[in-house]
Structure 1
Amino acid sequence: MTALAGGSWSAVVLGGGDPGDPFAARHGVKVKPLIPLRGEPMAAHVLRALRGSGRVARVAYVGPTTPELDALVDLRVTDHGTLLSNLEAGVEALRVAGLKPGERVLVVTADIPMLRAQQLCDVLDSAPDAALVYPVVTRKACEAAYPGVKRTYVRVRDGTFTGGNLFLLDPALISQFLPRLREVLDARKTPWKLARLIGPGVLVSLLTGRLSVDKLEQKVSQVLGVPARALITPHAAVGTDVDKEEDLTLAEAHLPEA
């Protein structure tokens, strides 16, 4: 299973959100990805990176749009209320539109406006062949790119990382791992439930920083029932989303001049 050459990737962009989000409301918009940044919706910067990469042939956008966004997407999908439901709806829209055999799908959140086209190319070109690929960024790379940035990090034996806001998946296997992924997400704030899913020994090793990336990949693959791999990327923009005013200020400062 490999991605097809050239602009053969299809993408799902997750642009939904809580309609009661106070961050979005303060900026007079329905959901966070529509917050203006340099005079256009935040999501437009993400979509332009996808289009500029030359790798993405088709984009399904899940969530409310504007005329600026409509010009950058191929398929508009109604917000289904949760991240996983939106993911499933976006992939299904691509499937109906005609995914090619062996084609993998890029999934991106619409709140990483500092992502650049070349950075996306680097991620896609270096991605291992697996049903699920999740990029991670080292704390060192994040703090070097954006001094003072505040992220949530996890320490493992190989280093300290933050998770990316995009991932790659095999759409043919989504029905296999999505139910288990829902279980993991539902259990993430309840230690005994999480321990039951991933094993108490693995959980203790993770919490104490003694778990290696390789062992974590093996356990995630076992839990989800499909091959899963981490991809360490040097591009801090992949793991830097906009959740609050200080993040918006950071993005404003680091976007290139038009």
Structure 2
Amino acid sequence: MYDAIILAGGENSEHLSKFSSQSYEAMIEIAGKPMVTFVADALAASPQVDRIFIMGPIPQLQKCRFPDNAVLLEGGCTLLETIQLGMKALGHENKVLVVTADIPLLTPNAIADFFTQCAQVEADLYYPIVSKEINNKFYPSSKRTYVRFKDGTYTGGNIFLVNPKIVPQCLLVAERLINNRKNPFKLCCILGWGFVLQFFLGTLSLTKVKERVATLLGITGAVVQSPYPELGIDVDKPSDLELVRTTFSFRS
């Protein structure tokens, strides 16, 4: 089994604040519940998940109803500081699942498939991607950031399986990658100008990117092609919020 960390400390963006007065993104209401509770419930319903560490503003999170195996922890001033604090709280160095609080469509089946694919290869970091075709099939109105590779066109997911031992050595480069995750061109610039050229020519392969990121971070990485678009549909703009709220209205 794996422990999980939910990153719930992000402040509400300027765009989303027009649709929700909540100070923190994780607390934005969807179908009558704070967004973060859907993520926690999906993790709690997953047989492979043990403890759930929810990291963010304690006073706000205490107002939520979370599963019994959830532990609330105050987050750091930055995303990476929060991840560091979460890793220290684990009390072990086994692989841990890191999840953002803004993917309320997450399901236990999506989590189970991710774990199943991760178990097929040994790595320090596992990262999911979803093809544009699959995403458009299930959520045609979803507006995602896609990257065109030689192998296909993909968007990134928002869950990661991480070996805690690698976190200290990865912080500086990881921060640059995370901060530019919505900008494929800037990501290619971080990887090197050769990648920029291949990006524009459409000859960039997933394997080359994986190998380059692993070299930059000094780790072994694995890319998981998930059939579940719910891993990547994060709420960071008004159209995302509308999509998620509409989806839940159809489910109820």
TM-score, L = length of structure 2:
0.87
Q: 1:120 aligns to what?
A: 111
Whether the 8 Å CA contact 1:134–1:166 is kept in 2: the answer is yes
Is the partner of 2:123 in helix, strand or coil? coil
Q: 2:203 aligns to what?
A: 210
Cα separation, 1, equivalents of 2:12 and 2:244: 22
Match of 2:96 among 102, 105, 118: 105
Q: 1:92 aligns to what?
A: 88
Cα separation, 2, equivalents of 1:10 and 1:26: 33
Gaps of 5+ in 2: none
The size of the alignment, in residue pairs, is 245
1:31 counterpart = 2:27: no
Whether the 8 Å CA contact 1:19–1:31 is kept in 2: the answer is yes
Residues 53-86 of structure 1, C-alpha deviation per residue, up to 9 Å, x if partnerless? 1111011111121333454553322232322222
Match of 1:224 among 217, 229, 245: 217
Instruction: Say which is worse superposed, 64-73 or 83-92, in terms of deviation.
Output: 64-73
Q: 1:156 aligns to what?
A: 149
Q: 1:133 aligns to what?
A: 126
Residues 136-169 of structure 1, C-alpha deviation per residue, up to 9 Å, x if partnerless? 0001111111112111100010000001011111
Instruction: Say which is worse superposed, 68-77 or 135-144, in terms of deviation.
Output: 68-77
Is the partner of 1:67 in helix, strand or coil? coil
Distance 1:35 1:175, change over 3 A: same
1:175 counterpart = 2:168: yes
Amino acid of the residue matched to residue 221 of structure 1?
A
Whether the 8 Å CA contact 1:184–1:194 is kept in 2: the answer is no
Cα separation, 2, equivalents of 1:46 and 1:78: 18
Gaps of 5+ in 1: 1-7
1:41 shift after superposition: 0.5
Cα separation, 1, equivalents of 2:21 and 2:204: 44
Identity of aligned residues (%): 32
Whether the 8 Å CA contact 2:141–2:243 is kept in 1: the answer is no
